[in-house]
Amino acid sequence: MCGAVALIARGVSEEASACHCAMCRRWSGGPFLAVGAEALEVLAGSPRTVQSSEWAERGFCSDCGSSLFFRLTAAGPHHGITTVAYGALEDPSGIRVTTEWFHDRKPGGYALAGDLKAITEAEAFAMLDGD
């Protein structure tokens, strides 16, 4: 938002996801929309990271607080998976939301349009555990 941090996301997916877990909703003010990336390189600035749970960290601009990325830190097959905040992308055209995480935790006050894959909290943690 302020330009203090510049990132390059490589291998960006054409599919975005929305997470409805309580932490993501608090962090983003609604569902956290994010896009998978194979690699994330910091070109300028120093994003701050915070270990937000036993299994993940979140990156944000230390100047303005804008959400930048989410990274899985738990050991296992998903370690290191990084998603970039949809709002941090220069040009998100062509990227569509296809998946809702923690769908069973979504508040009743909003709904995303379309036929989206819905993953429950239990299913998400089972995937994290490698099941």
pLDDT of 40 = 95
For 27-64, what is each residue's pLDDT tens digit? 999 999 999 999 999 999 999 999 999 989 999 999 99
> What is d(CA 74, CA 46) in angstroms, rounded to the nearest whole number?
23
Average pLDDT of the chain is 94
Strands 56-60 vs 48-51: parallel, antiparallel or unpaired: antiparallel
**What is the C-alpha R_g of the chain?**
14
The lowest-confidence range among 9-23, 47-61, 74-88, 117-131 is: 117-131
> What is d(CA 99, CA 19) in angstroms, rounded to the nearest whole number?
8
Nearest partner of 23 among 105, 86, 116, judged by Cα: 105
- Of all residues in the chain, what percent carry a pLDDT higher than 90? 90
Average pLDDT score over residue span 61-86: 94
| Domain 6-128 homologous superfamily, CATH | glutathione-dependent formaldehyde- activating enzyme (gfa) (3.90.1590.10)
Average pLDDT score over residue span 72-95: 93
**Does residue 131 have a pLDDT over 60?**
no
Phi/psi for 122 (5° steps) reads -60, -40
Q: What are the sequence ranges of the domains in the chain?
A: 6-128
Q: What pTM, to 2 d.p., does this model score?
A: 0.91
pLDDT of 130 = 65
Q: Are 38 and 118 in contact (CB under 8 A)?
A: no
> What is d(CA 68, CA 89) in angstroms, rounded to the nearest whole number?
9
For 94-111, what is each residue's pLDDT tens digit? 999 999 999 999 999 999
**Does residue 129 have a pLDDT over 90?**
no
Q: Are 105 and 22 in contact (CB under 8 A)?
A: yes
Nearest partner of 84 among 22, 48, 39, judged by Cα: 39
